[in-house]
Each structure stands twice: as C-alpha cells, then as structure tokens.
Structure 1
Amino acid sequence: MSQTPACLIDASIYIFRYYFALPDNWFSEEGYPTAAVYGYTTFLIDLLSNEQPEFIAAAFDESLDTCFRNEIYPDYKSSRAQPDEALAFQLAACREVSELLGIASFGSETYEADDLLGSLMPVLADHPEPIAVLTRDKDLGQLLRREQDFLWDKANDQRFYRPDIYDKFGVYPEQMVDYLALVGDSIDDIPGVAGVGAKTAQALLAHGQDIIGIFEKIDEIPNLGIRGGAKLVDKLIDASEQIAMSRALAEIICDIPLGVTANDLKLAPQPFAPLEDFCQRMGFPRLLNKLRQLSHIDDE
C-alpha cells in the first residue's frame, strides 16, 4: 500500500512499554519521573515526522475497574495492579501531549481503549486510506474487516493484515471473539473452557464457524477427529454460560456514539508555545528542536 494510513493509536500499550523500558532520567517540576512521557512523546514525534498521517487519533485506558466488563465479571483484569500516583501522573501527561500535538484523544470511564478504537474505525470506513491500529495486542485483530487495514506494531515495524491474523491464530478476524471465548485470555483474566486449547478451538470454529454454529452442530463434534471429542461435548454444554460471558468480555464494542466525524480526526496545525511549556514542565527540553521541525507545528 502506497497510501499513508490513518493512524489509530492504542496509547496505553506504548506508554507502558516505555514505563518499563526506560530509566528514570527525566523528572517533572513536581518531582515525578517522566520516562514514560518522554518515550511516548518521542514515539509520537517519530510517527508524525515519518508518516505524516492526514487522520490520527489516540485511545487511552481510563476505565480501569469501572469498565462495563467488570459488571459482567468482577475478576476481569483483576490481576493487573492499579497505577500509583506517579504512574497516573504520567498517563495524564501522555494524553496531554497527544492533544497538544493535535491528535484527537479519547478516554472513557465505561469503555476501554479497544472499544474506543473499534468505534473510531467506522468513522474512517468511507475513506480509501488503510487504517493502521498501532498496538502490540494481536487480540485487536477482530477489528480487521477490510483487506487494506492492519495492526501495526510500530516499535518493531511489524504489520498484521487479515491473512496474518489467520496465520497466527488459525482463525479469521471475525472469529477472534469466539476463539477467545473458548481458549480464554490469561492477560485479561478471561476464563476459557477447561481442556480447550488453540488447536481444539481452531477445529471447532472451522467446523461451526462461530459459537452459535458450534452448538448447532454439537452432535457432530465426536466425529471431527478431535482428541477427546466425546467428552468435549459435555465440557462445552457444561460451560455454555461461561462461554457466553467470556465472549461478552472479549468482544470489542464498535458502536460507541463518540460524536465525531472524519474531519475531527484530521491532524491540524498547532502552536509551538504550549508544547514548549510542556517539555519544560516534564524535564526534557531537548525534544523541543524535534517538535519544532514537525510540519504542522507553528513556531511563529
């Protein structure tokens, strides 16, 4: 694809990457470490400088333990530690610099970043440009419904299109929700069906296409050549309610009424002065020269 992609950033993925990877060499005026802010800001500078996207947005995880999924399953993401005051400061600062750079930014106390990204994709669906979802989370593969769209692990410059999702998981993007409902997701504390691993889930979905189809053809499972097929039928029936719950947890919501159009996601000229103040407050004034060189930053 020669077209510059519209860029939708799974911001928290990159913030945490720099939070754990960079030493605390930078500090804010308040004394908070700002290594994650520095790393995330350099990431945005490189993205804007090298790609110069016409459309760009960033989604932030701000629901934490208030997400609607916690009402469905209280243990959802329960193994993740809540950010302390210092990390919360950096998360807020990363959203601030995104907005100062003219990047449309979204957060919610109800929905996760994945849902916000999923709901931003239809906003851009009428445009021919490919949509790049910048993330390291392959579970977002369920969002890839158009051939030109892709997941982009920008740090490693890896792109995952629809065929790549199938190559990795053995299921198509539109089957990812059902796949996760069967195998679970230990990172998000989504329970899977005991005894159902990747290969079993792949075989079931190849046969039934989705969860509904699997249960409609459940009597045929012992004849599929799956190891333990006869017992698998009982396992699926016993776990039917859990499967439905896990599917609800894994499904990305793509119809949140965000109240924006594609024009609201266009990168617009921004003044330099607020960015200068930000970098001074965050303790990394050396980034100012790079920020000044961005084509949409007005230093007049």
Structure 2
Amino acid sequence: MVRKQPAGPEDARPEADPTVWLVDASIYVFRAWFTLPEGITDREGHPANAVLGFGEFLVRLLTRNATAATAFAFDESLASSARRQIYPAYKANRPPAPESLKRQFRLCRSLVRALGRVELASTRHEADDIIGTLARRHQARGVPVHLITADKDLTQLVGPRDLWWEFQQDRRMDARAVEKHLGVRPDQVADQLALAGDKVDNIPGVPGIGMATAARLLRRFGTLDELLADPGRVAQMQVRGAKRIAALLEEHRDTVRLARQLTGINCDVDDLPPDLDLAPTTPDRAALQALMDTLGIEGARRVRWQALIERLEGKS
C-alpha cells in the first residue's frame, strides 16, 4: 500500500515512492459535476462545481502521497475514438457534454499541470487506453502500479504487484480480490464483459448471459476464443439452461467478437512518447494562484489548497 515517508529536514524532499499512480481523471470530474450544486460559479459567473470538486479530490489524493510518479488521463473526443469507428453505437447512449462542462474540463487539466503532474488526453484513444499503455510499460519494468478509478473495466490491467483503487471509498483490490469480486482473473475481465455486455458503454453482449454466467463459462473454458471455438460443448455443462446458453452463444458469436474489440483495453497507444517521464515537478505557484483567484477560492478551501502547494514544494 502507500508508504509513509521518513521524516527529514524541512527543506528536503522525501524519497520518491516507487509506485506509479495512474488516475482515471474524467470519472472524478463527472462525479463532482453530478453531485455538487449547479449554482456553484467562479468569479465571472461560469459554472465551477466540477472543477472545484475535482480540485478537492486532488487535494486529498496528492496529500496522501506527494512523491509518486503520477499521470492523470482524460477523455477528450468520443466522436473520433477508435471504438466509435469500430462500433458507431459505442457510448451513443450518453448525451454530449455541455460547453460549460467542457470549459471546466480544460480548467481541471490546467490545474493538474500547475500542480506539477502529467495530464494526458488523445483524440483517438480513451483514457483507459492511455492508462493501459502506461501500466504495461511500468509493469514490464517491475514497477507496481496503482489504478485510481471507479471503473471495473480497468481491473483487467491489474498485475501481481498492482492495485485497482477506488479512492473516494478507499476501496482497493489486488489481483486476488478482483478474481473474488468478479469471479474471473484480471486477464479474463475483457472476455467476461464481451459475453455479458456493458449497458453503461452501450456494448452488446449475449442476451440472457450476465456477469456471473460469463464468469462460470470462462472458469470452465479459460478464454473467449476457446469458448467460441465450439459453443456446443457448453450444452454438456452441469449448468441450468446449458443447452439454451450454448444456442445463444452460437447465435450471437459475431456480436461477442465485436464486443471483445470494445471491451479490451489497448495497451499500445502509439501517440504516447516512449520516454514519457511521470515524475512530479515543482508546482507553478503563480499559475495556481491565478486559478484560485479565477475560481473564487477563499477561506478554508484556499487554506487547504495552499497547504497542498507547500507540501508539493517540499516545505511541509
């Protein structure tokens, strides 16, 4: 888990944490936008509930650990995403973000940069794919990864030394906990989602097959490819409705293969620099002060944000 840093001289920065933190940032922006009152505005009267809520999330997160290499991945353009090109109905059930929210997303990204952390987005790849690519790079080097998100899809990235971490509830799962919770190993999660479908992302699955049944099938056959090689074998399983499930798999084989292209995270995004450095840098105090002024941050909230700046500068 997160290690406490040893005490040292006041002007010395603590030793860097060896883990890498990969943050699914958009989830926490949307959560603030949905939960905080719309009447919260900045100095110019623009809505500011999402950016202020996200800022509070940053204060809590970075106060926990000021030294870990960290990247914040944002979703930028669903319309031009690779998955939408494969399946035009992908996430088509979601209304487009209003301009007021887009403006707040830009401010959130500016805030991350001003705090000396890396923020990333792509017009072709989703935040999940950015996180997946960075996770695989660091896992290959033997570096533990913390996936900070509330999205179950990212559990497929959890390796032997990693954690899926829903920060707001402080709920953490390692690979064994993922298997206990979902019924499959992390490397089987994308197959499970392809079979069951995902209503949140508008991904089709096999009608009548949910996550529990998908897990049981994958525990028996191992992989989706092995299962679909001969769906008729399912009829021999000691499962209620086995013959019906076998027939459904045969009927919806093409749908499942299409869904699998959508549920799997791309861990080889080609527009991320191969030598991307995620180490924290010194915060831009002037930019942060300007942002706080623009957002109208005063009182106890300004004190908290100022304290974070000093912590990130190694002064506290």
Structure 2 partner of 1:277:
290
Deviates more, 1:64-73 or 1:107-116: 64-73
The answer on whether the counterparts of 1:7 and 1:53 sit within 8 Å (CA) in structure 2 is no
Quickly say closer, same or farther: Cα 1:123–1:289, change in 2 above 3 A: farther
Shift of 1:236: 1.2
What TM-score, normalized to structure 1?
Answer: 0.93
Deviates more, 1:196-205 or 1:242-251: 196-205
- Percent identity over paired residues: 33
Quickly say closer, same or farther: Cα 1:53–1:217, change in 2 above 3 A: farther
Alpha-carbon distance in 2 for matches of 1:126, 1:176: 20
Alpha-carbon distance in 1 for matches of 2:212, 2:292: 49
Partner of residue 255 from structure 1, selected from 268, 271, 282 = 268
Q: Deviations over 1:96-142 (max 9, x none)?
A: 10111111011111111111110111232255553111111112100
Give the match's secondary structure for 1:225. Answer: coil
Shift of 1:298: 8.3
Structure 1 partner of 2:51:
37
Shift of 1:217: 4.5
Alpha-carbon distance in 2 for matches of 1:289, 1:278: 14
Tell me how many residue pairs correspond in the alignment.
297
The answer on whether the counterparts of 1:133 and 1:152 sit within 8 Å (CA) in structure 2 is yes
Do structure 1's residue 233 and structure 2's residue 246 form an aligned pair? yes
Taking only aligned residues, the RMSD between alpha carbons, in angstroms, comes to: 1.9
Alpha-carbon distance in 2 for matches of 1:253, 1:126: 16
Quickly say closer, same or farther: Cα 1:2–1:72, change in 2 above 3 A: closer
Deviates more, 1:162-171 or 1:285-294: 285-294
Shift of 1:216: 3.0
Q: Which amino acid aligns with 1:261?
A: D
Q: Deviations over 1:18-57 (max 9, x none)?
A: 1111124542244211111111111112211122232001
Deviates more, 1:227-236 or 1:102-111: 227-236
Partner of residue 237 from structure 2, selected from 221, 224, 231 = 224
Structure 1 partner of 2:196:
183
Alpha-carbon distance in 1 for matches of 2:208, 2:298: 54
Partner of residue 77 from structure 2, selected from 63, 82, 105 = 63
Quickly say closer, same or farther: Cα 1:225–1:99, change in 2 above 3 A: same
Alpha-carbon distance in 1 for matches of 2:65, 2:312: 13
Structure 2 partner of 1:88:
102
The answer on whether the counterparts of 2:116 and 2:282 sit within 8 Å (CA) in structure 1 is yes
Partner of residue 98 from structure 1, selected from 104, 112, 121 = 112
Structure 1 partner of 2:306:
292
The answer on whether the counterparts of 1:36 and 1:90 sit within 8 Å (CA) in structure 2 is yes
The answer on whether the counterparts of 2:78 and 2:84 sit within 8 Å (CA) in structure 1 is no
Structure 2 partner of 1:123:
137
Q: Which amino acid aligns with 2:260?
A: R
Structure 2 residue runs without a partner (length 5+): 4-16
Give the match's secondary structure for 1:253. Answer: coil
Structure 1 partner of 2:148:
134
Deviates more, 1:282-291 or 1:41-50: 282-291
Structure 2 partner of 1:79:
93
Quickly say closer, same or farther: Cα 1:125–1:202, change in 2 above 3 A: closer
Alpha-carbon distance in 2 for matches of 1:52, 1:111: 28
The answer on whether the counterparts of 1:26 and 1:283 sit within 8 Å (CA) in structure 2 is no
Structure 1 residue runs without a partner (length 5+): none
The answer on whether the counterparts of 2:153 and 2:189 sit within 8 Å (CA) in structure 1 is yes
Alpha-carbon distance in 2 for matches of 1:70, 1:179: 20
Structure 1 partner of 2:7:
none
The answer on whether the counterparts of 1:194 and 1:235 sit within 8 Å (CA) in structure 2 is yes
Shift of 1:2: 5.4
Do structure 1's residue 209 and structure 2's residue 222 form an aligned pair? yes
Structure 2 partner of 1:143:
157
Alpha-carbon distance in 1 for matches of 2:268, 2:293: 39
Q: Which amino acid aligns with 1:44?
A: L
Alpha-carbon distance in 1 for matches of 2:151, 2:220: 27
Give the match's secondary structure for 1:133. Answer: strand
Structure 1 partner of 2:171:
158
